[in-house]
Chains A and B, each alone.
Chain A
Amino acid sequence: MAYGERGGPTWFFKSGRILLVGTRERSSQTFCLLSSNGGTFFFLSLNTHFLSPNLLSLPSITLKIVLFDPICLFQALPNSYFLFDFRLTTHRSLDLMTSPLLDVEGGGQGNESLMNSASTMESVFQMNPGLTERNYLGLSDCSSVDSSAVSGISEVKRNNLNLKATELRLGLPGSQSPGRDSDIDLASSTCLDEKLLFPLLPSKDGICSGPQKIVVSGNKRGFSDTVDEGNWMFGSSMVNSDASKSLVQGKFTSNASVNGKISSGTQPAMIKDATSKMVPQEQAHATYGASLNKVNASNPAAKTQVVGWPPVRSFRKNIIATNSKNNDEVDGKPGPSALFVKVSMDGAPYLRKVDLRSYTTYQQLSSALEKMFSCFTIGQCGSQGASGRGSLSESKLRDLLHGSEYVLTFEDKDGDWMLVGDVPWNMFIGSCKRLKIMKGSDAIGLAPRAMEKSKNRS
């Protein structure tokens, strides 16, 4: 690992390498972006506290940039699928996502993978050191969102779009993607959103695979309530499918050049950055249709979502899970069926259990945990309490995900505590022994360890 540390914001990139960014101030949270660039990966990590309200006033923030070879991570990924993990970010860094994130044109080999234009790097720079303070709830103007991608769209729409599509959230990846619940209405826009945030299979299924999973999980009993009405932050404007359509269209056209770049070079599956609104509209609709059909046909995967059915004790399920895991190594049978781990939370008087195999992404896990432990965060933050459902869910989400007070950590097989979200999902469920929602301050120093670990696996 090489560290580059400077007094101001800084960035460091070489094509074909993992890019990791963290702040000097408590490297307790990371924000990871794994992206594919014809076999190479980028890995971006940001510190939560960097984005937390308390730190907004800090005159300058030092970024640590770590660069290391991604091959080890890549090798550990089964089926070589791509994973986008957005975690622990806020609206503050909107620019990061609205405008192209990384420009690898200079690197020669990478331009296709970066679905965005060259302004990315600049915007990273621009947001520092004079970080303009943004409304934390995303209700204020977004004047500082100066992404060229949305220039052609009306102010209101632009706000919505930017916030929705590009918001970097505190918490696990996409933990409260607005509108996830109401995805049927949201149609294309949601699908697009989801696609950005979820693991994607590179080739055949490509873009469709992500959204399908999500929609199915939305059907799951008890889980569907997890994600609150969806658009708590943005009002309902985005739910209007016409609006989203036009947004897509607008973006599409305004980014014609970028689009050209994409279509010229790469597989469609690579188009999956947060800004990939530029995906042709038809494709979006196709995706949506496919996922809807899946739901209606009661896809067998939906069966796996019934909690407590079939009535087999979780103890036994775990045994069988580990048994079949062992078998996998021998005869390559399909994976195990359940994996229960305990979740504790600092300050909460009880533990809970979750079946990691009933989730397919960090997002789903995060939403579920958010629901389970919401009562404590509400209590602790002294918010308005149960004064109606809307406000309840709002505060719930805000507290757990944006308060940046808590971070989700896990104990791996070796007994080490690490931050959730640093490694690909499959690797995570393969090694997670238990989960803990920690006070952010207690989790200092966990992240780098996780990184090293992944590296050591090479």
Chain B
Amino acid sequence: MVYSLPEEVLEHVFSFIVSDKDRNVVSLVCKSWYEMERWCRRRIFVGNCYAVSPSIMIRRFPEVRSVELKGKPHFADFNLVPEGWGGYACSWIEEMSKAYPWLEEIRLKRMVVTDESLELISTSFKNFRVLVLSSCEGFSTDGLSAIAANCRNLRVLDLQESEVMDLSGHWLSHFPETFTSIESLNMSCLGSEVSFSALERLVARSPNLKTLRLNRSVPLGKLSTLLHLAPQLVELGTGAYSSGIRSDVYSSLSKAFLGCKEIKGLSGFWDVDLSYLPAFYSVCSRLTTLNLSYATIKSPDITKVISQCPNLQRLWVLDHIEDSGLNALALSCKNLQELRVFPSDMYAADANVTLTEQGLVSVSQGCTKLQSVLYFCHQMSNSALITIAKNRPNLTCFRLCIIEPRTPDYLTHEPLDIGFGAIVKHCKNLNRLSLSGLLTDRVFEYIGVHAKKLDMLSIAFAGDSDLGLHYVLSGCKSLKKLEIRDCPFGDTALLANVAKLATMRSLWMSSCAVSIGACKILSQKMPMLNVEVIDENGTLDSKLDSCLVEKLYVYRTVAGPRSDMPGYIWTMDRDSSSRI
């Protein structure tokens, strides 16, 4: 019956289908649906910029308005991917500039973006609205100047954790005086000072500004000025949150916060000065998001703040919160959905910071809506993990980092297999999991059996043998991204599950036991996979098949081998291995 519907009607129906997955399914129904769907697809998400080429995307989806691209592997965040690896945005932007004059949104993550590309963006798309550069690099404030000067309808400029070369703080003054459309501006990653007068004028003339995240160089004294100009702000990232002892700063700041009736999210707090914390207490009751992860304040002070925030849904904080602070969180924030606790010291346990598994157990008991956890600590036990799993079967994301690799259960000195096993067993909707601590192949057996919805798995310093990897690859039906470092997983497991790799987005293995010979076989068996070996040290002997590879990145692609590889990447030629 639906087949008889006119195209216009069907297109209208399709427009209500938002999720990428559902759209993909729709396009598989029949040829005519495929045709109709591709003409009315407005949003594209490409999880790996090398999995498809811009020309293929443009050929199939000619009327796109919004593109989201991801570049480097996730481990690039932790400096495991050498510089110059790739993830260049320029070819995409060039082709899109020709094909999509009506493009409105570009969101890039972990990509290299040049100033030229930013200039091209600023001049090619007439109705450009959203630019999100998340953990990107390669551009400077000059590129931002071009965006500011030319994108007259820009609504969102978000430079989240990007590395921007700070050539000038005056890029903000390139926004024309007639420009009033900005809704969200995140420049928290910028290192140098921005022109405050330009910022002030921009904020003053932007009635729709809802999100403003300042960088560290904006002094606290100026914050109240900005808040007075933009009382409609919903998300605020402060600059430096200290200003000597000046009562006028404090009083004007607390007055300014009083006027902000919409604020729901707070972040920033660089160089925080405790005495200024109460200035924002007036907005605490409305807060749903609080990021104190750059604020080095001690547990009692954190506790004071969060006890004022009953509606908190997301909290990011340093381990200075300690168990006591997490207990308080469990009692006062019943709507908490996401908790991230970062280490204040990357390597050594600070004797003065008491953050153990107990804090997380408390939160799992008290916060019944908790779904997402990122937790760095120094000790863990199986019993604690089992309690957490039983308390919070609704967890979808569980990332636990016990900082010292291969730490056993500190009570029983046994591996943490049972604990993580309980997590995957009880949390049926778990889609992201990061493992740490002492783990044997057993935990991977649990994961393979239970974690059917797992989408992304990170493994470090774990497992005993190939069996571990085999459990995961053969068991986790939904697995898309698998990243492994320093595990004794090797050829057998990899080659036994080659077909699985074609269903995944990517596999990263570094410091494992995979040989170059296995990489060659993998590449031969699965021509749709790009098998890239990263050999930074120049130690790889490609003729010696038993030679172990240092870093391996495998991903499926319809675009064939990429052309922008640096010299230290080896690909497996289909016939024989050769260096490109």
Interface residues of A (CB under 8 A from B): 221-222, 225-226, 300, 303-304, 306-317, 319-320, 323-324, 326-327, 337-338, 340, 342, 349-353, 355, 371-372, 374-375, 386, 389, 392-393, 396
Choose among A225, A311, A337, A392 the residue that contacts B347 (Cβ–Cβ < 8 A): A337
CA distance A45 to B441 in the complex (A): 57
- Smallest beta-carbon distance B269→chain A, Å: 10
* Smallest Cβ-Cβ distance to A378: which chain B residue: B538
Tell me the smallest distance from the CB of B300 to a CB of chain A, in Å.
16
Contacts of B285 in A (CB 8 A): none
Q: Which of B17-25, B179-187, B397-405, B470-478 contacts A (4 or more CB under 8 A)?
A: B397-405
Give every chain B residue within 8 A of A315 (Cβ-Cβ): 135, 161, 163, 189
* Cβ-defined partner of B78 (8 Å) among A222, A312, A351: A312
Q: Any chain A CB within 8 A of the CB of B271?
A: yes
Q: Which of B441-494 contact A (CB under 8 A)?
A: 458, 460, 485-486
Interface pair A337/B79, CB less than 8 Å apart = no
Asked if B75 lies at the interface with its beta carbon under 8 angstroms from chain A, I say yes
Among the interface residues B189, B537, B567, which one has the most CB atoms of the partner chain A within 10 A?
B537
Q: Chain B nearest CB: distance from A228 CB in Å?
A: 10
A389: chain B residues at CB < 8 Å are: 538-539, 541
Q: Among B163, B296, B346, which residue has its beta carbon within 8 angstroms of that of A327?
A: B296
**How far in angstroms is the closest Cβ of chain B from A402?**
18
Question: With A338-B346, A351-B84, A392-B538 in contact, is A310–B294 under 8 Å at CB?
Answer: no
Closest Cβ–Cβ distance, residue A348 to chain B (whole Å): 8
Let me know if B296 and A375 touch, CB within 8 A.
no
Task: Return chain A residues, CB-CB under 8 Å to B271.
Answer: 323, 326
- Tell yes or no: B250 within 8 A of A by CB: no
Question: Of the candidates B77, B344, B537, which one forms a contact with A313 in the assembled complex, judged by CB atoms under 8 Å apart?
Answer: B77
Considering only CB atoms and an 8 Å cut-off, how many residues of chain B contact the other chain?
Answer: 45
Q: Is the CB of A337 within 8 A of B434?
A: no
* Contacting residue for A386 out of B75, B346, B538, B566, CB 8 A: B538
Contact of B79 among A308, A324, A327 (CB under 8 A): A308
B342 touches which of A222, A300, A312, A396 (Cβ 8 Å): A312
Instruction: Tell me if A314 and B78 are in contact (CB < 8 A).
Output: yes
B374 CB, min distance to chain A CBs, angstroms:
10
A352→B346 contact, CB < 8 A: no
Interchain CB contact under 8 A, B78 and A313? yes
Within 8 A of A (CB), among B367-412: 376, 401, 403-405
Q: Report B288-322 CB contacts with A as 1/0, cut-off 8 Å.
A: 00000110100000000000000000000000000
- Chain A residues with CB under 8 A of B84: 349-352
Max chain A C-beta neighbours (<10 A), residue from B163, B189, B270, B568: B163
Task: Return 28 A-B CB contacts under 8 Å, by A number.
Answer: A222-B536, A222-B537, A226-B537, A307-B78, A308-B80, A309-B485, A310-B343, A310-B403, A313-B161, A316-B293, A317-B346, A319-B294, A320-B342, A323-B271, A323-B294, A323-B296, A337-B346, A337-B347, A340-B79, A342-B163, A349-B84, A349-B566, A350-B83, A350-B566, A351-B84, A355-B79, A374-B538, A375-B567
The answer on a CB contact under 8 Å between A225 and B78 is no
Q: List 14 additional contacts besides A309-B485, A311-B77; criterion CB under 8 Å.
A: A304-B347, A306-B405, A309-B460, A311-B401, A313-B135, A323-B271, A324-B296, A324-B345, A337-B347, A351-B83, A351-B84, A371-B537, A374-B538, A386-B579
A319 CA / B271 CA spacing, docked (Å)? 10
- Which of B348, B434, B485 interacts with A308 by CB under 8 Å? B485
B511 proximity list for chain A (CB < 8 A): 221
Pairwise interchain contact B346-A371, C-beta atoms closer than 8 A: no
The answer on a CB contact under 8 Å between A225 and B348 is no
Complex alpha-carbon distance, A102 and B468, angstroms: 62
Contact A303 B347 (CB under 8 A): yes
Q: How far is the CA of A342 from the CA of B579 in the complex (A)?
A: 27
Name the A residues within 8 Å of B82 (CB-CB).
Answer: 352, 372
- With a CB–CB cut-off of 8 A, which chain B residues contact A314? 77-79
Q: Which of A222, A351, A393 contacts B550 (CB 8 A)?
A: A222
Q: Least Cβ distance of A56 to chain B in Å?
A: 30
| A310 contacts across to B, CB distance below 8 A | 343, 346-347, 376, 401, 403
Bound CA–CA A336/B416 (angstroms): 30
Q: Which 3 interchain pairs have the tightest Cβ spacing?
A: A350-B84, A308-B78, A352-B83
Residue in A320, A353, A372, A374 whose Cβ sees the most chain B Cβ within 10 Å = A320
**Please, how many angstroms separate the alpha-carbon atoms of A396 and B82 in the complex?**
19
The contact of B344 among A225, A320, A338, A371, by CB within 8 Å, is A320
* A430 → B minimal CB distance (Å): 16
Q: Produce 1/0 per residue, B62-83, CB < 8 A to A.
A: 0000000000000101111011
CB atoms of A300 and B538 under 8 A apart:
no
The docked-state distance in angstroms from the alpha carbon of A396 to that of B537 is: 11
A125 to B376 CA separation, bound complex (whole angstroms): 60
Nearest B-chain residue to A306, judged by Cβ: B405
With contact pairs A323-B271, A375-B567 given, residues A311 and B434 touching in the complex (Cβ less than 8 Å): yes
**How close is B301's CB to chain A, nearest CB, in angstroms?**
14
What's the nearest-Cβ distance from chain A to residue B82, in Å? 7
Chain B interface, DSSP helix/strand/loop, else mixed: loop
Contacts of B342 in A (CB 8 A): 312, 316, 320
Contacts of B376 in A (CB 8 A): 310, 312
The interface bits of chain B over 172-192 (1 if a CB of A lies within 8 angstroms of the residue's CB, else 0) are 000000000000000001000
Chain B residue numbers with a CB within 8 Å of A225 are 537, 539
Shortest A457–chain B CB gap in Å is: 23
**Cross-chain contact A309 with B78 (CB below 8 angstroms):** yes
Q: Is the CB of A353 within 8 A of B460?
A: no
Bound complex: CA A315 to CA B83 (Å): 15
CA distance A372 to B296 in the complex (A): 35
CB of B240, distance to nearest CB on chain A (Å)? 10
Q: For B163, B296, B347, B458, which residue has the most chain A Cβ atoms within 10 angstroms? A: B347
Complex CA distance for A385 and B84, rounded to whole angstroms:
21
Q: Which residue of A lies closest to B293 (CB)?
A: A316
**Once the chains are docked, how many angstroms separate the CA of A374 from the CA of B539?**
12
Nearest-CB distance from A217 to chain B (Å)?
Answer: 15
Per-residue interface assignment for chain B, residues 429 to 442, with 1 indicating a CB less than 8 Å from any chain A CB and 0 otherwise: 00000100000000
* Known pairs A303-B404, A315-B161, A320-B344; A308 contacts B75 (CB<8 A): yes
B121 to chain A, nearest CB (A): 22
Measured CB to CB, the nearest residue on chain B to A326 is B271
Q: In the complex the two chains form, what is the Cα distance from A316 to B346 in whole Å? A: 11
How many Å lie between the Cα of A77 and that of B348 in the bound state?
Answer: 25
Docked pose: A393 CA to B537 CA in angstroms: 10
* Complex interface residues of chain B between 76 and 126 (CB less than 8 A to chain A): 77-80, 82-84
CB-defined contacts of B294 to chain A, threshold 8 Å: 319-320, 323
Please measure, in the bound complex, the distance between the C-alpha atom of A236 and the C-alpha atom of B536, giving whole angstroms.
26
Task: Provide the bound-state CA to CA distance between A177 and B220, in Å.
Answer: 50
Contact A353 B83, beta carbon cutoff 8 Å: yes
Nearest Cβ in chain A — how far from B308, in angstroms? 24
| Complex CA–CA separation, A303 to B257 (angstroms) | 44
B408 to chain A, nearest CB (A): 15
Query: A221 to B537, alpha carbons, bound, how many Å?
Result: 12
A303→B161 CA distance, assembly (Å)? 26
Whether B78 lies near A337 (C-beta < 8 A) is: no
Cα distance A222–B82 in the bound complex, in angstroms: 12
A342–B138 Cα distance when bound, in Å, is 11
For the complex formed, measure the closest distance between the CB of B404 and the CB atoms of chain A, giving whole angstroms: 7
Q: What CA separation (Å) do A221 and B77 show in the bound complex?
A: 18
Closest Cβ of chain B: how far from A418's Cβ, in Å? 19
Which among A309, A317, A337, A375 has the greatest number of chain B C-beta atoms within 10 A?
A309
Which residue of B is nearest A344, CB measured?
B83
**Min CB gap A390→B, angstroms:** 12
Residue in chain B with minimal CB distance to A303 = B347
B141 CB, min distance to chain A CBs, angstroms: 15
B291 to chain A, nearest CB (A): 11
CA distance A338 to B347 in the complex (A): 10
Contact residues in B for A316 (Cβ distance below 8 Å): 293, 342
The closest CB in chain A to the CB of B294 belongs to A319
Q: What 1/0 flags go to B131-142 for Cβ under 8 Å of A?
A: 000010000000
Question: Which residues of A are found within 8 Å of B348, using beta-carbon distances?
Answer: 300, 303
